[in-house]
Structure 1
Amino acid sequence: MEQSATLDIETLKITQEQFILASQSLHLQRPACDPVYPVGLYGWRKRCLYFFLLLLLATMIVNLALTVWIIKVMNFSVDGMGNLQLKQDGIRLEGISEFLLPLYVNEIQSRRDSLLVLRSDKNVTMNARNNQGQLTGQLTVGPEAVEAQCQRLEVRSSDGGKLLFTADEEEVVMTTEKFTVTAGSDGAVFGHSVETPLIQARASEDLKLESPTRTLTMEAPRGVEVSAAKGPLKVSGRKDLQLESTEGEILLDANSIQLGSLPLGVYAASAAQASEDQALYEVCVCPSGKIYLSPAESSSTCQAMSNICLWS
């Protein structure tokens, strides 16, 4: 029994030595384990990441709040923004609107129940240009005057069919049936000639044609008619009043014609003595055109050598 146990131990040692030698001859190495590294952020890197995440979240919340506030204040909607509404036929503005830069539109129209008001601290200017950008018309409403610069100015009736007023560089035409000028005590002043078919005053007012420092001339190719239907007609002048007809006659047609303050022309020493018993007189005309009275007798007493004609 002891001999067999000794043999087994010897055999086991031989076998272990053979395994070691075989392992060294084959250069076998035992597998080694890889080093383990920790995964994640630690320390100040982790704190910076959390800080940036919180800052980004706060910024998003502030931006969302500002967006909601702007939408609420500006009254944004599907149709437009606040008083500005987008329509299919254009843009509609409610209330007062202010434009800081030029406005280019095809048409500006107010609502049916309100007026269209254009306001400016200095003036309101509307320009019209052609395809080349050249200025063809301008309307300026200023604090002192309203100026219109264009080739032709037209004023039409409310329906747009009848032309009422036209002005250009050559003439000014008014096609209304009645033209009324309301002026002060001096009336209407015309610097040059006036051409019109009729000058008529109102029913309760007088018509006065006057030239204070110059002559008043009325001409017409077929005659001038001056009439007063329901009142007197007075023609007066500071110096001479001349009625002249080159090819026709001057007709004074009335029930009574009065020539007041005519001088009396006689050969008598005293005109007062000659007219004491005289009842009828004859109207005489001097060669110069001066009219005087002469005592009426059986024959004409008008004499070219009368004292009135000699001193005229």
Structure 2
Amino acid sequence: MEQAATLDIETLKITQEQFLLTSQSLHLQRPGCDAAYPVGLCGWRKRCIYFFLLLLLVTMIVNLALTVWIIKVMNFSVDGMGKLQLNQDGVNLEGVSEFQMPLYVNEIQSRRDSLLVLRSEKNVTLNARNSRGHLTGQLTVGPEAVEAQCRRLEVRSGNSGRLLFTADEEEVTMTTEKFTVTGSEGAVFGHSVETPLIRARTTEDLRLESPTRTLTMEAPRGVELSAAKGPLKISSRKDLQLDSTEGEILLDANSIQLGSLPLGIYTASTSQAPGDQSAYEVCVCPSGKIYLSPAESVSSCQAVSNICLWS
């Protein structure tokens, strides 16, 4: 019994010695591993991460809700947006539209059964530009005037496209068959007017007047003044001059009256007093002035008449 106990004690010692050697070898292989570190996030860092994730989720939900609301309000569809439809020909817009910024388009066209109306609180301006962006033409419709800025302004008829009116820096041309002025004061021209015919209506008078300056009528082939159904009256404050360089001046009428002609000198007849004179002769001075002279058996016109001397 004593021997068995001695063996067990020795065996236990050997086992303890092996355990100590094994522990020493493990301790030598992993030096400095006595401290332990926690794994994962905890504390205020973890709460901040959860808060940011929640805020991001709420933002995504709000954005999604706003997107759905905008699509519903603006009535987006595959063809367009509400009354704005996109097709192969362009953009079709129905109803009243308001543009806050400039609109750049190639063509604006209304439907066949409706009108195209452009409205603005101040003015409506249409600009035309070239490829370089320079302004080549402008049309402005304002509350006080309609202004067109371009090199040449043309007005054509809607049916045949015939040119009716043109205006540029040098001249203004009207190609219509008739130009009518219906104002009570007529038409006022600051400079010369070139036209083949000036005619009044059947029930109205034609009046050509220059209140402060000279009224001149010229034509390369002739000037004709005619009144078909009424009198023809020509009056002047100072001089009335009829001049023909190559032809003649023709006064064709049933009766021609020259009123307020001056009376020239005459030789008194013994048989008739000057107050009883009933017939007069029309005389012309070398200067062209016309005066009256009492008619006698021979011509009483004299170049040395007082009328001709003082003319």
TM-score, L = length of structure 2: 0.76
- Counterpart of 1:214? 213
Counterpart mapping for 1:23-102 below 5 A:
58-93=58-93, 94-100=95-101, 102=102
CA distance in 2, matches of 1:234, 1:294: 24
CA distance in 1, matches of 2:310, 2:172: 51
* 1:290–1:309 contact (8 Å) kept in structure 2: yes
In the TM superposition, residue 274 of structure 1 has moved relative to its aligned partner by: 1.4
- Counterpart of 2:290? 291
Compared with structure 1, are the counterparts of its residues 40 and 171 closer, same or farther at alpha carbon in structure 2 (3 Å cutoff)? closer
In the TM superposition, residue 126 of structure 1 has moved relative to its aligned partner by: 2.4
Structure 2, unpaired ranges of 5+: 23-38
- Counterpart of 2:30? none
- Counterpart of 2:142? 142
- Counterpart of 2:193? 194
Percent pairwise identity: 75
CA distance in 2, matches of 1:307, 1:107: 79
1:175 aligns with 2:175: yes
Q: Deviations over 1:235-292 (max 9, x none)?
A: 10001111122222222221122222333332349xx94141x443322223333323
Q: Secondary structure at the match of 1:250?
A: coil
* 2:118–2:124 contact (8 Å) kept in structure 1: no
In the TM superposition, residue 157 of structure 1 has moved relative to its aligned partner by: 1.2
Paired amino acid for 2:100: F
Q: Secondary structure at the match of 2:260?
A: coil
* 1:281–1:293 contact (8 Å) kept in structure 2: yes
CA distance in 1, matches of 2:238, 2:44: 118
CA distance in 2, matches of 1:206, 1:150: 39
In the TM superposition, residue 18 of structure 1 has moved relative to its aligned partner by: 12
1:223 aligns with 2:222: yes
Compared with structure 1, are the counterparts of its residues 44 and 297 closer, same or farther at alpha carbon in structure 2 (3 Å cutoff)? closer
Q: Secondary structure at the match of 1:65?
A: helix
Compared with structure 1, are the counterparts of its residues 260 and 26 closer, same or farther at alpha carbon in structure 2 (3 Å cutoff)? closer
Paired amino acid for 1:299: V
CA distance in 2, matches of 1:304, 1:26: 175
Q: Deviations over 1:149-195 (max 9, x none)?
A: 2222211111362111112222222111111234452x322222111
Counterpart mapping for 1:241-252 below 5 A:
241-252=240-251
TM-score, L = length of structure 1: 0.75
1:280 aligns with 2:279: yes
Paired amino acid for 1:150: C
Structure 1, unpaired ranges of 5+: 1-8, 30-38
- Counterpart of 2:165? 165
* 1:282–1:293 contact (8 Å) kept in structure 2: yes
Q: How many residues align?
A: 293
CA distance in 2, matches of 1:54, 1:132: 54
